[in-house]
Amino acid sequence: MKKKQVALLLAALMCITPMAESAAVMGTEFSSGEETVEMQGTEEEAEAEDTAEIWTSGEEVSDFDTDEAPEVDGFTSEESEASTDAAGAKQVKGSFEVAYITEEQYNNALQNEERPEVDMKTVEDTTFSNALNSIEGENTGYCFVSVQDLEDAADFVAPEGMIVLVENARARSITPNGNIVFWGMIDPPETIEIKEGKGTTTFFCQDMRSVLKGTGSDDKVIFCGQNNAIGGISGVENIYLRNNSHDLQVFGSSEFFNIYNETDNIKNNPQDENAFLYTL
């Protein structure tokens, strides 16, 4: 009997051991599963923290961009102030000869193409505006400026109350706060802007290929003398032909609003009021 009992006990133990081992293995797998879940949870929390950090970083970038904008504006403003004067004109330095002239000398220049005979003051390494301010003598309301040299095309601003006759200018824009007359252009750019002003802009015996672009509300551009030629006209509301300006040659596309023929020939022959030569 004892042998049978021992055999049964051994058989029982042999049956129980695989189950225990299986239970142990299952417990290990379950345990491993819990650890996996916990690790996944930890990783999700880490990702959430990373995401939060990313959003925070995004906000910081946005704030940085916002802070940068005023600095850019400030730099642009400083650059603008450095390159312009109170009238908003681009300041280009050069050499000029300047003098006040009489009304008679001014009219004689436009009617007879005679250069005013007057003692000129030479100013160097300065701007057009400063050259005007440096004129000595009695202010007659008329002045003559002969441009000797300019570093680049500049913005020419005629002071209010002045009539300025400019010889050999190099202009990229014109602001006629007063009246300004150009007698010859040196290396004119493709486009010359006529800005807002209370006065007039006159081209005297001017042969160039620049396009005149009016940006003011009531531009007045005058052509006088012979052989006037331009590259085109855009946005100029009022165009006048005066003195001996019997023809205006235009070599590009143009738009005209109001054209006034006030030449000497028309004064003597009113019936030819609309007669002038326009060449494309």
Q: Sketch the domain layout of the chain as residue ranges.
A: 1-83, 94-279
Report the SS3 class of residue 41. helix
What is the C-alpha separation between 233 and 248, in angstroms, rounded? 11
DSSP summary character for residue 65: H
- Tens-digit pLDDT profile for residues 179-203: 999 998 888 899 999 999 999 999 9
**Residue 203 contacts residue 228 (beta carbons within 8 Å):** yes
What is the C-alpha separation between 134 and 92, in angstroms, rounded? 16
Question: Quick check: pTM over 0.75?
Answer: no
What is the pLDDT, as a whole number, of residue 247?
A: 75
**Residue 143 contacts residue 98 (beta carbons within 8 Å):** yes
User: Higher pLDDT residue, 25 or 94?
Assistant: 94
User: Higher pLDDT residue, 274 or 127?
Assistant: 127
Contacts of 3 (CB under 8 A, 6+ apart): none
**Residue 239 contacts residue 219 (beta carbons within 8 Å):** no
What is the C-alpha separation between 105 and 178, in angstroms, rounded? 18
- Tens-digit pLDDT profile for residues 219-265: 999 999 888 899 999 999 999 998 777 678 898 888 888 988 887 65
